[in-house]
Amino acid sequence: MNILLLGSGGREHALAWKISQSPLCGQLFIAPGNPGTASCGTNISLSLNDFSAITNVCLEKNIEMVVVGPEDPLVNGIYDHFQGDDRLKSIIVVGPSAKAAQLEGSKAFAKAFMLRNDIPTAAYREFTADSYDEGVDYLKQHSLPIVLKADGLAAGKGVVIAQSHEEALATFQSMIKEAQFGKASEKVVIEQFLSGVELSVFALTDGHNYVLLPEAKDYKRIGEADSGPNTGGMGAVSPVPFAQGAFMEKVIERVVEPTISGLSKEGLIYHGFVFFGLINVNGDPYVIEYNCRMGDPETEVVMPRLASDLVELFVAMHQGGLSSSHIQIDARSASTVVVVSGGYPGSFAKGKPLTGLDHSRSEQTLVFYAGIAEQGGQLVTSGGRVAAVTSYGDSIADAVEHSLNAIAHIKYENMYFRRDIGYEFKV
C-alpha cells in the first residue's frame, strides 16, 4: 500500500526508515520531509496544516495510509477531516480525532480526564482572566517550587517551574494578562511539583486494545548534568532500566489501562500513538503529560528497538486486532545523541555547511536527519536540532559511546551536543 507520512524532523526520518522496511509498504511519501527521509521515499513539499493539499496528494498518489508525526495537524483535526470526506474515509489514519488529541492540546482537558479516570497525576487548579485574582491568592499560599502550564500548545515552551512566589506571579501575569502564548495561555494550570526520574512510555491503540512499544528516557535540558533551559530533546536511551517488574506493573495498572478504558468509556476516538510522559516518584508512576504522537528524540531509539513490522501493527490497529503477540523487541540497548546548532534553544545560525554524516554511519549507528536542508547539492543546517545519532550497544554505556564516536565524524560550525546522555544508567 502507498503510505503518506507527515512531518519533517528526526522523528519522521526514524518513522520513514522503519516504515520503508515493511513488505506491506508500496510507495512511501513524506511531506514535507527532509534530505534524510528522501533516502526512504519521496518527499513532497506542502504545509502540514494545508488539509486540502494533503487531500490532493492522497488522491493523486493512491494513498491508503497516513501516518501523522507531529501534534499540530492532529489537534487541528486531520483525523476528522479524513472521516468527513467520502473520498478519504477508507484511508487508515494513524493519529487520534481532534477531540481525543486534546489530551495533548489542552493541559486542563488532560488533567480533568485523569481526575475522572483516577489516573495518578500532580494536584492542580486551573485559572483564566475571570479567576485571575483567585489565582494570585492561590499562588501566594502554594508551596515551592510551583509548576505553571499554559493550557494549549506552546511549542514545548509553555511550562515554567517557578522557584519563588515572585517568579510564579510574574509568569502567571505574563501568561494570562499579557497573552504570552496567545490563546494557549488564556487558561493556566497550576500544579504541584513532583520530584523523580522521568520516562516516556508509548502505546499504540485503537481506543480499546493497545500494545506497548519500548520505553525511553529523553534528556530535555541543553546542558550536561541536566542544566540550563529546556529543549526539544538532546538525546534519549532505551530501555529504561527501572521500567520493569513492579514499577512497570504499576504503570500498566494505574496509568495505561485506565487511560485506554477512559478513552473507550468517554467515546474518544483514538487510533494512534499515546505518549505517556511519566515521572517515577519513589517507585510510583505519575503522569506529567500526555502527547498524542510519538516523542522526538524518543522515536529515534524506539523504532530501532522495535523488531516487529510497524505497518503490520498499523493495519492490526485499524482492524481492531492489536495484541502483544505483534510486538517483538530487539534485546540490544539503543541511545541517540542529538547534535544541535550552537545557541539553541536560544537564537542560532542556519545554513552552515555540514559534512561527515556518511562516515558517521556504521553497522551499529544510524543517523536521523532533523534540521538539515540541501542547498545546491550541499547539506546545510536548517534548525536547532540538526541530527539524531542513534547507536545500538550491549549496554546503554556502550550504545552512547558508539554514538559519541560516530559524532566525531560530523562537522559544522558551532556544533554542540551532550556527552552525558544516559548518565544515570551507566554505572
Contacts with ligand GLY, residue ranges (CB under 6 A): 218, 233, 291, 295-296, 298
| Residue of closest CB approach to ligand GLY | 295
- Rounded to a whole number of angstroms, the minimum distance from the CB of residue 330 to ligand AMP is 26
Q: Which is nearer to ligand AMP, 193 or 364 (CB)?
A: 193
Contact status: 159 vs ligand AMP (CB under 6 A):
yes
Q: Is 301 in the site for ligand AMP (CB under 6 A)?
A: no
- Based on the shown chain and the rule CB under 6 A, indicate whether residue 194 belongs to the binding site for ligand AMP: yes
The least distance separating ligand GLY from the CB of residue 298, rounded to whole angstroms, comes to 6
Q: Which of 26, 35, 223, 277 binds ligand AMP (CB under 6 A)?
A: 277
Instruction: State yes or no: residue 254 binds ligand AMP (CB under 6 A).
Output: no
Smallest CA-to-CA distance from 15 within 235, 290, 295 is with 295
- Residue 56 identity: N
Number of residues that bind ligand AMP (CB under 6 A): 12
**Smallest gap from residue 218 Cβ to ligand AMP (A):** 8
What is the C-alpha separation between 289 and 274, in angstroms, rounded?
Answer: 11
Backbone conformation region of residue 346, classed left if phi is above 0, alpha if psi is from -120 to 50, else beta: beta
Q: 280 vs 360, which CB is nearer to ligand AMP?
A: 280
194 touches, from ligand AMP, ligand GLY, none (C-beta below 5 to 8 Å by class): ligand AMP
Shortest distance (Å) from residue 288 CB to ligand GLY: 11
Q: Are strands 378-381 and 333-341 parallel, antiparallel or unpaired?
A: unpaired
Partner that binds at residue 104, options ligand AMP, ligand GLY, none, CB closer than 5 to 8 Å by kind: none
Q: Does 193 sit near ligand AMP (CB under 6 A)?
A: yes
Q: Return the number of the residue (151 or 289) whose C-beta is nearest ligand AMP.
A: 289
The least CB distance from residue 121 to ligand AMP, in Å, is 8
**Four-point Cα dihedral 285, 106, 214, 336, nearest 10:** -110
71 binds ligand AMP, rule: CB under 6 A = no
Name the one range near ligand AMP by CB under 6 A: 78-86, 87-95, 188-196, 235-243: 188-196
From ligand GLY, ligand AMP, none, which one binds at residue 233 (CB under 5 to 8 Å depending on kind)? ligand GLY
Q: How far is the CB of 363 from ligand GLY (least distance, A)?
A: 27
Contact 254, 120 (CB under 8 A): yes
Which residues are within 8 A (CB) of 19 and not within 5 positions of it... i.e. 6 or more apart?
A: 3, 5, 25, 28, 40, 67, 310, 311
Residues that bind ligand AMP (CB under 6 A): 122, 147, 159, 161, 191, 193-194, 198, 220, 277, 288-289
